[in-house]
């Protein structure tokens, strides 16, 4: 697909406006932005209205603008990713070296699981196929986040067509409900050849002090190798590592 030059120009102008607003002390008006950036008032007005609708900017009674709280949320999310990643990485490397399996740190992004950090284990074909983004319904980490959602979210999520990746893949809410109860009861989730044939995965939560699920820590590997090494032993080590990371994160959280 060829890039749209008109969209690229508008996107660049949007960032120019945000950059200029970030330099201002207090609020800024359309005329000021137009003069400093050399962009017509009409164009700036249209862009600001879109940003206003999304909460990226705010408008006061004098129709002057300032950066909005949505940007604070974006910044907080990035900071959260950095904090958890930096805390988790040494523990993930240690666990991967000890077990020989791939360890993933995942976070919810919209309605998918984003792998913000992965430490590869022993060489195998399955790990080469894994992508940075996984669907919630067919990944162990994703199921943890699904189990946190309310009934309306789950109905809406499973009302959309879901690809059946293997014969084991769960694609409907009716099929997921028994797993949902089990996940909430046991506190961890499994993917048994639901994402890929021959691939086994288990995930444990990393929660904030308030109990909110912040990230998932998962271990992935060939099902036959996982069974040979001892599934229960591997999952126990994964649980212990998740608990250590969680404790360190909560300690850091209390200082912020």
Q: What is the pLDDT along the chain (256 residues), one digit of tens a residue?
A: 454 555 577 888 888 888 888 877 678 899 989 998 999 999 999 999 998 888 888 888 888 988 876 666 666 556 666 678 888 999 999 999 999 999 999 988 878 898 888 898 876 555 555 557 889 999 999 999 999 999 999 999 999 999 999 999 999 999 999 999 999 999 999 999 999 899 999 999 999 999 999 999 999 999 999 999 999 999 999 999 999 999 998 888 776 5
What pLDDT shows up at residue 75?
Answer: 60
What is the CATH topology of the domain spanning 73-253?
Beta-Lactamase (3.30.450)
For residues 42 and 203, give the distance between their C-alpha atoms in angstroms, rounded to a whole number: 51
Q: For residue 1, what pLDDT is reported?
A: 45
Third-level CATH fold of 5-67: Arc Repressor Mutant, subunit A (1.10.10)
Largest CA distance in the chain: 70
Domain boundaries, the chain: 5-67, 73-253
- For the entire predicted model, the pTM comes to 0.70
Q: Tokens 């070296």 appear where?
A: 97
């Amino acid at each position: 697909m060829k890039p749209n030059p008109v969209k690229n120009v508008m996107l660049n102008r949007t960032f120019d406006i945000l950059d200029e607003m970030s330099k201002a002390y207090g609020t800024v008006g359309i005329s000021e932005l137009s003069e400093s950036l050399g962009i017509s008032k009409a164009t700036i007005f249209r862009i600001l209205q879109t940003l206003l609708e999304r909460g990226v900017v705010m408008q006061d009674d004098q129709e002057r603008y300032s950066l909005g709280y949505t940007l604070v949320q974006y910044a907080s999310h990035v900071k959260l990713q950095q904090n958890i990643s930096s805390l988790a990485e040494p523990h993930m490397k240690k666990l991967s070296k000890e077990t020989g399996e791939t360890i993933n740190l995942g976070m919810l992004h919209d309605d998918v699981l984003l792998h913000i950090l992965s430490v590869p284990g022993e060489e195998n074909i399955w790990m080469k196929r894994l992508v940075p983004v996984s669907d919630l319904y067919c990944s162990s980490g994703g199921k943890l986040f699904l189990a946190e959602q309310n009934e309306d979210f789950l109905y809406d999520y499973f009302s959309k067509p879901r690809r059946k990746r293997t014969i084991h893949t769960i694609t409907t809410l009716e099929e997921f409900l028994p797993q949902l109860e089990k996940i909430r009861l046991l506190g961890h989730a499994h993917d048994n050849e639901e994402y890929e044939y021959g691939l086994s995965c288990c995930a444990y939560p990393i929660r904030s002090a308030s109990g909110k699920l912040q990230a998932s820590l998962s271990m992935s590997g060939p099902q036959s190798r996982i069974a040979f090494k001892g599934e229960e032993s591997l999952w126990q080590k994964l649980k212990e590592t998740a608990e250590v990371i969680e404790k360190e994160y909560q300690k850091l959280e209390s200082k912020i």
